[in-house]
Amino acid sequence: MSIRKQTLYNGEWVDELTCKEFVEWVTDYLEDKLPAEDGRRFDAHLAQCSGCPHYLEQIRQTIRIAGKLSEASIEPQARRELLRVFASWKAEHQRGDDPQ
């Protein structure tokens, strides 16, 4: 499927971001490298996803501790962490309907 869903965010329709894309973009987001439109998509996902805001906060804490953002050191850990967060989130919110 190449057709993206759209979501309304701050009065504008933006292409929905997947959690996987959120993880891939998080370093650019924190370094202010995302183009404005992609930044809106990122923010829209952040507003609607139950797992990613928690994940983003953990990344921010990691950066505070590490002192700087290093994509090379964050990526593998971040992906594992995200999967862990979603696994526990799914277990808590099992309602029989698949998340989008």
Q: Indicate the angle between helix axes 52-66 and 71-92, nearest 10 degrees.
A: 150
49 or 74: CB nearest Zn ion: 49
47 or 66: CB nearest Zn ion: 47
Work out how close the CB of 77 gets to Zn ion at its nearest, in angstroms, rounded to a whole number: 17
Q: Could you tell me the two tokens for 43?
A: 């923010």
49 or 65: CB nearest Zn ion: 49
Q: CA angle, 57 as apex, 56 and 59 as ends, to 5°?
A: 65
> Which residues sit at the interface with Zn ion, rule CB under 5 A?
19, 22, 49, 52
Work out how close the CB of 97 gets to Zn ion at its nearest, in angstroms, rounded to a whole number: 16
Cα 51 from Cα 79, distance rounded (Å): 13
